[in-house]
Amino acid sequence: MGGTHGSPRLPRLGLSVAFVGELAFSQLSSGVRSVLIRRASADSLGGNLAGQPEVVVIDAEPPGFDQPAVERLTGEARNLGASIVGIHGPAGTEPIWDGLVDLELGLGRDGAAATALPFVPPVDPLLFNPCDFPQVPEKRFAVVVSPEATAAELSSALGAIRDAAADPTDVFLPGGAADVGLPSGMEPIREALGAPALARRLKPYRGVLGHPGLHPDPRTEAALIVRLAASGIPTALVDRRREFLDLLSPELRDALAAVSIQDLRDRHARELVSVRLRRAALKCHSGVATWRTIAEALGRSVEQPARLSVLLATKRPNFLEPAIRQVNRQSYQPRELIVVLHGDDFSPDVAETLEHQVEGPLSIVRADGRLPLGDALNLGVEAARGELIVKMDDDDWYAEDHLWDLVLAHEYSGAALVGKAAEFLFLADLGITIRRFARDAETSDRRITSGALLVHRDTLIEVGGWAAVRRREQAPLISAIVGASHRVHRTHGFGYLMNRHGTGHTWNPEVDYFLLHSERQWRGAAFEAAGLDR
């Protein structure tokens, strides 16, 4: 990895947090300024932090701390203006911080989340991500067993999975797992793998089948499911445990609930399941996302996510309103829209109309129609205030989480430029949607379309901006970025449908060119197949 903007750099919050207990520290220290308070120095909390902590997180049973020590520590923390957070231990555990905290995380002592904020240890996107996810899977399913699973529940769970799957299945049995006979059609695999290595090992499988009997408790199951989801591993739940689902974000919970085993048997549906799960896990269960949820519950403000500047350049007045609708439906915030009016064909009241239509910050840039598209885009970049620049086209369709897809890929890949290929195309002349180039997503493949890319603003300026070309403006930009030792990453193609309507394109190959590469076809504009909800 080369270049200042070519190395993975996850966002961080300017929050100062002290941890009591190494388990709490290992689970929540990512994304914040953190310090671990050890028992020997617990009487000088302020000195440990070299300033004032904003939050103190206490494990349920921190080694070396007794009740009086925790009471003194929390008292000092409150005098410094800190909020106190306690993490619940296993069901039935009496937390040492009982009655001393402002916020509880996890399942309460009664096994329910009614009195606590749902919590599962967050994932590190640099370790758990969908890079190199194979679009063409092996035929087998996989099952993952936790070391502490009990023999009786494990036997019942494996039987239920065998009946539901009705297919050959590999059962991953790490050291310490209960010794139980496997049903016919199941093959044991015993490998001493850490969590990131296990996720990489599971990616080629058709999918993972889950059941509460494979794990000793809901917390263990939730932690595994979040890691699998962030890694893009399709997962179907054969049975569901209420407490396990309570620990997940609503978005991931809903995505899991929609998955069936039959989905994982179809290559296209399997990949769409993977995309929805990875998006929810990385969006809601990273360290920064978890801390945003905690800070909101505590009433503390934190830094916003990176601002996006969306570039929308057009010469076609009749495409402007539908293009604005595509931007307005995006779920990512904060963002601004830079509309580049390229030419003189727009009505005198276009600025007033845009101010009325656009939701959120707007800048309008005028570009002479004789300028190449690249130069017009550079005028838009000059007006942009965002750290990240995203280009959208005026005639294509985008899912509401399209911008999130690009931001998440930028974070876990560390690439200066990320984007989607034009995998899904609606060929209006034929009235069909095709899919092509489906096997190289989540790699450094350079087949990225101009209408679905994100680039770090500093990198864009460093390489001289967009080239002065009238079409295929992404090609010289990608070459310049790679030539400057920065990385390019192509994420999945779902959530973006290119509209080949036959008029006004800057790139106009014959329709036979697209059909030559077609791998799958649908009648009409196949929004659902392309991962768009309309």
Q: Which residues contact 473 (CB under 8 A, 6 or more apart)?
A: 373, 374, 377, 450, 466, 467, 506
Confidence at residue 45, expressed as pLDDT on a 0 to 100 scale: 53
Q: Which residues contact 289 (CB under 8 A, 6 or more apart)?
A: 122, 283
Tokens of 509: 């190959």
Q: 2 pLDDT exceeds 80?
A: no
- Give 20's strand partners: 37, 58
**264 and 294 in a common domain:** no
Tokens of 246: 């309570």
**167 and 18 in a common domain:** no
251 inside domain:
yes
Q: 193 pLDDT exceeds 90?
A: no
Rounded to an integer, the average pLDDT of 79-99 is: 90
Cβ burial of 1 (10 Å; 0-12, 13-18, 19+) is: exposed
> Which residue type sits at 267?
R
What is the pLDDT confidence band of residue 510, given thresholds at 50, 70 and 90? low
**412 and 315 in a common domain:** yes
Confidence at residue 47, expressed as pLDDT on a 0 to 100 scale: 52
> Are the beta carbons of 524 and 431 closer than 8 angstroms?
yes
> Which residue type sits at 154?
L
HSE-up of residue 317 (Cα within 13 Å, Cβ side)? 11
Q: Which of 301, 335, 367 is the C-terminal boundary of a domain?
A: 301
Range of the domain at 380: 308-523
Q: 254 pLDDT exceeds 70?
A: yes
Q: pLDDT digits over 205-235, tens only?
A: 999 999 999 999 999 999 999 999 999 999 9
Q: pLDDT digits over 125-165, tens only?
A: 999 999 999 988 988 999 999 988 888 899 999 999 999 99
**275 and 245 in a common domain:** yes
Tokens of 468: 């002065």
Q: pLDDT digits over 26-79, tens only?
A: 999 988 998 888 865 555 554 554 467 899 999 999 998 988 889 988 998 898
> Are the beta carbons of 433 and 497 closer than 8 angstroms?
yes
Percent of the chain whose pLDDT exceeds 90: 73
**409 and 512 in a common domain:** yes
Rounded to an integer, the average pLDDT of 419-447 is: 92
Q: Which of 252, 271, 301 is the C-terminal boundary of a domain?
A: 301
Rounded to an integer, the average pLDDT of 512-529 is: 85
**145 and 106 in a common domain:** no
HSE-up of residue 293 (Cα within 13 Å, Cβ side)? 22
Q: 515 pLDDT exceeds 80?
A: no
Name which of 457, 312, 340, 456 is nearest 398 in CA terms. 312
Q: pLDDT digits over 352-382, tens only?
A: 999 999 999 999 999 999 999 999 999 999 9
DSSP, res 394: S
Element spanning 67, H or E:
helix 67-79
**199 and 71 in a common domain:** no
Q: Which residues contact 21 (CB under 8 A, 6 or more apart)?
A: 58, 59, 60, 61, 62, 63, 65, 87
Confidence at residue 50, expressed as pLDDT on a 0 to 100 scale: 47
> Are the beta carbons of 83 and 103 closer than 8 angstroms?
yes
Confidence at residue 198, expressed as pLDDT on a 0 to 100 scale: 94
Confidence at residue 299, expressed as pLDDT on a 0 to 100 scale: 93
135 inside domain:
no
Rounded to an integer, the average pLDDT of 392-396 is: 95
Name which of 65, 66, 64, 71 is nearest 101 in CA terms. 71
Q: Which residues contact 489 (CB under 8 A, 6 or more apart)?
A: 131, 409, 410, 413, 414, 415, 417, 418, 442, 443, 444
C-alpha dist (Å) from residue 354 to 2, 139, 366: 40, 51, 13
Q: pLDDT digits over 308-336, tens only?
A: 999 999 999 999 999 999 999 999 999 99
C-alpha dist (Å) from residue 440 to 45, 109, 499: 51, 47, 22
Q: Cis (ω within 30 of 0) for the bond into 53?
A: no
Q: What is the spatial distance between Cα 88 and Cα 392, in angstroms, rounded to a whole number?
A: 45
Confidence at residue 40, expressed as pLDDT on a 0 to 100 scale: 54
Q: 6 pLDDT exceeds 70?
A: no
**35 and 91 in a common domain:** yes
Q: 113 pLDDT exceeds 80?
A: no
Torsions phi, psi of 305, nearest 5?
-60, 170
127 inside domain:
no
Domains identified in the chain, total number? 3
User: What mean pLDDT is reported for the chain?
Assistant: 90
81: left (phi over 0), alpha (psi -120 to 50) or beta: left
Rounded to an integer, the average pLDDT of 277-285 is: 98
> Are the beta carbons of 60 and 88 closer than 8 angstroms?
yes
Confidence at residue 472, expressed as pLDDT on a 0 to 100 scale: 87
Helix (H, G, I), strand (E, B) or coil at 105: strand
530 inside domain:
no
**94 and 29 in a common domain:** yes
Query: Which residue reads 């309460």 in tokens?
Result: 108
113 inside domain:
yes
**241 and 102 in a common domain:** no
The three-point CA angle 285-412-220 to 5° equals 35
27 inside domain:
yes
Name which of 472, 424, 466, 477 is nearest 449 in CA terms. 472
Q: Where residue 4 sits, what CATH number does that domain have?
A: 3.40.50
Query: Which residue reads 């276009």 in tokens?
Result: 350
Q: Say which residue, 252 or 510, is predicted with more confidence.
A: 252
Q: What is the spatial distance between Cα 430 and Cα 17, in angstroms, rounded to a whole number?
A: 59
Q: What is the spatial distance between Cα 247 and Cα 118, in angstroms, rounded to a whole number?
A: 5
Name which of 102, 3, 6, 10 is nearest 303 in CA terms. 10
**467 and 424 in a common domain:** yes
534 inside domain:
no
**320 and 251 in a common domain:** no
Q: 7 pLDDT exceeds 50?
A: no
Confidence at residue 44, expressed as pLDDT on a 0 to 100 scale: 53
Q: Where residue 434 sits, what CATH number does that domain have?
A: 3.90.550.10
290 inside domain:
yes
Q: How far is CA 142 from the centre of its chain?
A: 23
Q: Say which residue, 175 or 369, is predicted with more confidence.
A: 369
Beta strands in 195-334 (DSSP E): 207-210, 235-237, 308-314
